[in-house]
Amino acid sequence: MRARRPCVVESEEQCLTVAKRLRSACAERDLPYVFKASYRKANRSSGGSFEGLKPDRALAALERVRRELEWRS
């Protein structure tokens, strides 16, 4: 199994959903897991592509994942 993660924070709900699923899958296999997602993704092939939420919203989403899943920084 390859652990997948979002490339960029698109929403709080997306991050939380992915983090919960991956945490569960890794726990079932006794694997460690660290949730990682970029708050901004500027290396898109098109200048008009989605680069992520505004930094304060993206960081708030990552903080929510940490808080709700009780991960320590």
Per residue in 34-49, pLDDT tens?
A: 888 887 776 656 667 7
Report the C-alpha gap between 42 and 38 in whole angstroms: 10
Report the C-alpha gap between 31 and 71 in whole angstroms: 15
Per residue in 6-18, pLDDT tens?
A: 677 888 898 899 8
Q: What's residue 64's pLDDT?
A: 92
Q: What's residue 63's pLDDT?
A: 92
Question: Could you give the percent of the chain with pLDDT greater than 90?
Answer: 25
H or E segment at 50? none
Q: Phi, psi at residue 38, to the nearest 5°?
A: -80, 145
Residue 5 has pLDDT above 80, yes or no: no
pTM here is 0.71
